[in-house]
Amino acid sequence: MQRDIPEVVIKRLPIYYRSLQQMAQMGKDVVSSQELAKSAGVTATQVRRDLSYFGEFGKQGKGYSVELLLSELRRILNLDRDWDVVLVGAGSLGRAVTRYPRLEQHGFRIRHVYDHNPNRINTRLNGLVVEDVSLMPEQISREGIRIAIIAVPPSSAQEVADELVRSGIKAILNYAPATIQVPDDVRVYDIDPVAAMQSLTYYLEPYESRRKRKLSSASDRIDITS
Amino acid sequence: MQRDIPEVVIKRLPIYYRSLQQMAQMGKDVVSSQELAKSAGVTATQVRRDLSYFGEFGKQGKGYSVELLLSELRRILNLDRDWDVVLVGAGSLGRAVTRYPRLEQHGFRIRHVYDHNPNRINTRLNGLVVEDVSLMPEQISREGIRIAIIAVPPSSAQEVADELVRSGIKAILNYAPATIQVPDDVRVYDIDPVAAMQSLTYYLEPYESRRKRKLSSASDRIDITS
């Protein structure tokens, strides 16, 4: 039993879970590590190594029981319960978040939406009333909510994160295009579609091939200006 | 010069780019690897190592020129041009994508939105007319578009991806909660907020601490049922 399970492993578990749910819906009872690997876009060795952090879930050569592996992953990922969530930011991004039905379907219930803009406060967003962000700290701590979604402009992201952490939030899904600093006991998952796109365009003409074409043209050494 | 630059490095470059853009807006001329690291949520060693794949961008002890590093990252990530994009899926997720202003602001122009649902075809989505997905292959190849966003239900994601790849798409931002299989020369970046949430809830009560508490209660060995 290893003590520290790498974050990349934890990030792959929900993908296995998603694949297994699809298999269960299709009536599949047993899955090999090869099949699970293919369906999750990794190698079979990876699947076996990732799962081995949590015990032995299959018999050599016999594969995994889809139902049992699902229930184990549910337990490991703390999905055998619903989770209350607060959303900060009722602009276009926040609105899109409230309209995304899969969060609720998977047990993530948005209990409060906050904004500081008076024009947004008290308006309705997909069944939720936008509340004044000044109410946030007290409501989070009274209701014991531990998960927040940040959907504010990058310039206010850190300030919002600080307030959330002070109120007791331990997990943040961050849609603001800014890196936020949090204490060690708080986890952040960043989603930035622009950064995703910008890593994809790298591969449309990878640096290596471009570099080879212009190898003789110039030195790549760049000095700073000041 | 190493040949294969790890994907995690490529994924961090847009985060450095984003941090540097904020610094430039704040009028900062020179940045140390420590400052850049803090602002991007990594270590200074990581910053130096990541950038060293692409040449030498700073002088020992003097830091990096913000403007020069920005222009180098723009060149490396192929951001010194605009990119045309197609969006497949005009449901609630696709609609949210068309309403996300940052993509356009960063040079990613959605040229076509496709759907197969007759009720959606020819309706307007944020200035774009939803087109019949049957027109997609010919339009993509005629216009030489290489980037697609998939925002369809998971059950059709693979079929759509296959069609996109046949039409010449080389980079896919995948919002469908399904793993899609593509040839080696095509890159996929998955965004699944539910999977993100499910990796966060793991940490709200990590398996290790729960395991310790119940160490004596039962064996973790689980046999498959059939």
Q: Which two tokens stand for residue B110?
A: 């959605």
Q: How far is CA B117 from CA A8, B35, B121, B133, B175, in A?
A: 37, 50, 6, 9, 18
Whether residue A90 is annotated as binding a ligand: the answer is yes
Q: Which residues of B touch A54 (CB under 8 A)?
A: 207, 220
Put simply, the answer to whether A30 touches B226 (Cβ < 8 Å) is yes
Please name the member of A181, A193, A205 whose beta carbon is closest to the beta carbon of B103.
Answer: A193
pLDDT-based confidence at A58, cuts 50/70/90? Answer: confident
Query: For chain A, how big is the Rg over CA atoms in Å?
Result: 22
β-strands A108-115, A171-174: how paired?
Answer: unpaired
Whether the per-residue pLDDT at A62 is higher than 90: the answer is no
Tell me which of B5-14, B92-101, B182-191 is least confident.
B92-101
| Phi, psi for residue B4 in degrees, rounded to 5 | -100, 110
Across residues A150-173, what is the average pLDDT? 97
Closest-CA residue of chain B to A102: B194
pLDDT for B218 beyond 70 = no
Residue with tokens 């055998």: A80
∠ CA B138-B143-B148 to the nearest 5 degrees?
80
Residue A210: CB atoms within 10 Å: 12
Q: Which residues on A lie below 8 Å from B222 (Cβ)?
A: 55-57, 68, 72
Distances, alpha carbon A56 to alpha carbons A31, A81, B35, in Å: 15, 24, 44
> Nearest CB to B222: which of A30, A57, A187?
A57
pLDDT at residue B112, as a whole number: 98
Mean pLDDT rounded to a whole number for chain B: 90
Residues A15-27: pLDDT tens digits? 999 999 999 999 9
pLDDT confidence tier of residue A222, bands split at 50, 70 and 90: very low
Q: How many residues does chain B have?
A: 226
The answer, yes or no, to whether residue A215 has pLDDT greater than 60, is no
Q: What is the mean pLDDT of residues A4-22?
A: 95
**Which pLDDT value is given to residue A15?**
97
Of B54, B178, B204, the CB nearest to A78: B204
Which of these, B119, B137, B124, B68, lies nearest to B95 by C-alpha position? B124
Sign, CA torsion B41/B170/B106/B104: negative
Name residues 25-44 of chain A within 8 A of B (Cβ). Answer: 29-30, 38-41
Q: How far apart are CA A19 and CA A66, in angstroms?
A: 10
Q: Which tokens sit at A203?
A: 């591969």
Q: Please provide the average confidence, as pLDDT, over all residues in chain A.
A: 90
Where is pLDDT greater, at A101 or A164? A164
Amino acid B220: pLDDT: 46
pLDDT of residue A50: 95
Non-local (6+) Cβ contacts of A107 within 8 A are A79, A81, A82, A83
User: Closest Cα to residue A171, out of A95, A114, A86, A111?
Assistant: A86
pLDDT digits (tens, 9 = 90+) for B110-155: 999 999 999 999 999 989 999 999 999 999 999 999 999 999 999 9
User: pLDDT value at position B211?
Assistant: 65
Per-residue burial over B181-191, b = 16 or more CB atoms within 10 Å of its CB, e = otherwise: ebeeebbbbbb
Asked whether the beta carbons of A65 and B226 are under 8 A apart, the reply is yes
CA B220/CA A70 separation, integer angstroms: 15
* Whole-number Cα distances in Å, B111 to B104, B126, B131: 11, 12, 11
A129 near B CB under 8 A: no
Q: What is the pLDDT of residue B163?
A: 98
Rounded Cα distance between A55 and B15, Å, is 36
Taken in order of first residue, the domains within chain B and their CATH numbers are 7-76 (1.10.10.10), 83-195 (3.40.50.720)
Q: How large is the average pLDDT for residues A141-146?
A: 97
Say if residue A46 is exposed, middle or buried (CB neighbours under 10 Å; 0-12, 13-18, 19+): middle
The residues, any chain, with a CB within 8 Å of residue B56's CB and separated by 6 or more, are A220, A221, A222
What CA–CA distance (Å, rounded) separates A159 from B169?
Answer: 40
Residues above pLDDT 70, as percent of chain A: 88
